[in-house]
Amino acid sequence: MLDANEVAPPEEWLPVSAFDLAKDDREDDMEQARQDRDLLRATMVAETIVLDRLSALITKECWEKLIVKPTTILVRVATRGNVLNLIMFH
């Protein structure tokens, strides 16, 4: 059919899109792909939010408790003096 269209006079030519038989199927596939992409994007955003919350919780409950606040301990043994604990800075 395309060959017949090419040899026909210019006033009888049909656009190439007239020979596109799978246009509806392709449009349906494209719409399904868009929906799949949007679902995947929403899932990834939700997972990222959950992982951010988990990371914040681990930091708060584990790492921040390891930070030692500066204190001074008075020692009353044979010698008089002060002992300072080690300080972790973040």
> How many folded domains does the chain comprise?
1
Instruction: For residue 80, tell me if it sits in a domain.
Output: yes
Instruction: For residue 17, tell me if it sits in a domain.
Output: no
pLDDT band for 77, please (50, 70, 90 cuts). low
d(CA 44, CA 34): 15
Instruction: For residue 67, tell me if it sits in a domain.
Output: yes
The answer to whether the predicted template modeling score (pTM) of the entire model surpasses 0.95 is no
d(CA 90, CA 82): 25
pLDDT at 68 over 70: no
What is the domain extent for residue 68? 25-90
d(CA 37, CA 24): 20
Instruction: For residue 48, tell me if it sits in a domain.
Output: yes
d(CA 31, CA 34): 5
